[in-house]
């Protein structure tokens, strides 16, 4: 798996995740590890963060991590597996590109 950490330009925080694909078993694995320095969105000066996961383009598999109450530096260490996917290196690079574009919009 390849670990990534993405900085958002608007200073909403950082998220660390890893993404891997097992071509023999046709399983895409996403591990959401942690976030850091999240922007406070509640009136109390904290947030209740969670991560939404959608597998594009069909958006049929909508998943999310547990909510971490009143936490600006949450740790999830949650793993999600999407089975039965035919996945090429070209698609993987496109997925990373779109993930980075999406995260910049947060």
Average pLDDT over residues 19-27: 88
Are 39 and 54 a contacting pair, CB within 8 Å?
Answer: no
Q: Could you give the domains of the chain?
A: 2-104 (2.60.40.150)
pLDDT for the residue numbered 100 = 62
Q: What is the pLDDT of residues 27-66, one digit of tens each?
A: 989 999 999 999 998 888 999 999 998 877 777 778 999 9
User: Considering only CA atoms, which of 106, 10, 101 is closest in space to residue 56?
Assistant: 101
The long-range contacts involving 49-54, CB below 8 angstroms and separated by at least 24 positions, are 49/74, 51/15, 51/76, 53/80
Question: pLDDT higher for 98 or 66?
Answer: 66
Average pLDDT over residues 91-101: 66
């Amino acid at each position: 798996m390849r670990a990534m950490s993405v900085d958002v330009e608007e200073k909403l925080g950082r998220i660390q995740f890893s993404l891997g694909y097992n071509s023999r078993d046709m399983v895409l694995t996403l591990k959401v590890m942690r976030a850091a320095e999240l922007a406070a969105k509640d009136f109390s000066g904290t947030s209740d963060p969670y991560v939404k996961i959608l597998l594009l383009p069909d958006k049929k598999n909508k998943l999310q991590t547990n909510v971490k109450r009143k936490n600006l530096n949450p740790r999830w260490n949650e793993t999600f597996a999407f089975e039965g996917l035919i996945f090429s290196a070209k698609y993987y690079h496109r997925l990373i590109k779109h993930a980075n574009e999406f995260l910049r919009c947060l």
